[in-house]
Each structure stands twice: as structure tokens, then as C-alpha cells.
Amino acid sequence: MVPASHYFLLSLALFIVGVIGVLTRRNVIIILMSIELILNAVNINLMAFARLLGSVNGQIFAIFVITDAAAEAAVGLGIIIAYFRNRETLLADEMDLLKW
């Protein structure tokens, strides 16, 4: 049996990788993908606790997280397309129209 802490550590590792991705990448699409990684790390945790406690609630919560991820991806990618069409860049640090 895998100790519960290993799930936690795996989730932690994915989370940190995701955070670093969000903070260091310039391409917005990859930033969005890193956010997906973070959400995924959360899901692993939820799932591990669901197993640990023998309760299905964690899995249900994970479903909501996935729903959220889907919504985020749809809107986020919609914004990216709209932005790319207007400014023709995908770089987060060039999206500085509000930075005055």
C-alpha cells in the first residue's frame, strides 16, 4: 500500500512545477497549461483523501475542479484568440495595455 504522504508529495511536486511554469513562462498558452497542472495537483490530493477517508466526497469535489478547469480553459483560450487577433502576440509581458 502506498502511504498517503506519497500522494501528498506527488501533488506538492506537481503544484510547485505548475507554479514555476506560471511565473516563468512568457507564452500565455503555456501559462494556462501550467494552471491546469496546478489544478491537477489539487485533484490528486482530493482523490487521495477520498481514498483515505473512504468517502466519495473528495471525488465529487474533483469533478467540480475539472468543471472549473474546463470553464477556465474555454474562456482563457477565447481571450487568447481574441487577443491574438488584435495584437498578434502570445507573450504575457507584452500584454501591457493596462500598465500605465
Partner 1 sequence: MAAGTTLLFYFFAALAVLSAIFVVTARNAVHSAIFLITALLATAGIYLQLQAEFLFAVQIILYVGGIMVLFIFVIMLVNLDVAMRQEQFNRQWLAASLIALALGAQLLFAFWLVRHQGGVLSHAPAAAAALQPNTELVAQGLFRDYVLPFEIASILLLVAMIGAVVMAKRRI
Partner 2 sequence: MPDTRTTGHSNVTATVLGADEIILNMGPQHPSTHGVLRVKLKLDGERVIGSECIIGYLHRGVEKIAEHRSYQQFAPYVDRMDYVAAVSNGLGYCEAVEKLLGTEAPPRARVVRTILTELQRIASHLLWLGTHALDIGALTPVFYCFREREEILKIFEKYCGARLTTHAFRIGGLQYETYDGFEQEVKRFCLDLEHKIDEYETLLTENRIWVGRTKGVGVLAAEDAIALGVTGPVLRASGMKWDIRKAMPYAAYDQYEFEIPTGKNGDTYDRYLVRMEEMRQSRRICLQAVENIPSGPIMARIGKVLKPPPGEVYHAIEAPKGELGYYIVSDGTTQPYRVRVRPPSFINLQAFDNMVRGSLVADVVAIIGTIDIVLGEVDR
Whether residue 11 contacts residue 41, with contact meaning beta carbons closer than 8 Å, is answered with yes
**Helices 57-87 and 28-53 sit at what angle, rounded to 10 degrees?**
180
Residue 93 interacts, among partner 2, partner 1, none and using kind-specific CB cut-offs from 5 to 8 Å, with partner 1
Instruction: CB nearer to partner 2: give 71 or 82.
Output: 82
Using CB under 8 A, pick the residue from 23, 95, 96, 100 that binds partner 1: 23
Give dist(CA 80, CA 74) in Å, integer.
Answer: 10
Residue 30 has which C-alpha cell? 503555456
Restricted to residues 30-69, the positions that interact with partner 1 (CB under 8 A) are 30, 32-34, 36-37, 40, 43-44, 47-57, 59-60, 62-64, 66-69
